[in-house]
Amino acid sequence: MKKSIMQSDGCYICGSWRDLETHHVMHGTANRKKADEDGLTVKLCRRCHSDLHDKGLEDRWLQKEGMRAWCRYYSKTEEDFRKRYGKVIV
């Protein structure tokens, strides 16, 4: 797994340093593997991670942040992102 291109420390949503877990910004088996390769992971505290998966809170926002980070980091376009991940996040 490549180091995250989106963050360095603490929960990406609330900033907590407790009970951090890795979250793949892009979902699905194939996209999760690509997210590992591309560094599209963030640390989330257990509460934010659970809320995100259980309630979908912040999920679309986090995917959009990931798309923007990917485009900046790799000097690519949203169309390039669509080709790699099968969608553009709006």
List the domain range (segments joined by +) for residue 34. Answer: 20-85
59 Cβ contact list (under 8 Å, min separation 6): 52
User: Has residue 6 been placed in a domain?
Assistant: no
For residue range 32-87, list pLDDT tens digits in order.
Answer: 999 999 999 999 999 999 998 877 768 889 999 999 999 999 999 999 999 999 98
CA distance 68 to 84: 14
User: Has residue 1 been placed in a domain?
Assistant: no
63: Cα separation from own chain's centroid: 6
Nearest to 85 by CA among 23, 22, 28, 1: 28
User: Has residue 4 been placed in a domain?
Assistant: no
pLDDT for 21 equals 94
User: Has residue 3 been placed in a domain?
Assistant: no
DSSP-assigned beta bridge partners for residue 43: 22
User: Has residue 2 been placed in a domain?
Assistant: no
User: Has residue 14 been placed in a domain?
Assistant: no
44 Cβ contact list (under 8 Å, min separation 6): 11, 12, 13, 20, 21, 22, 23, 52
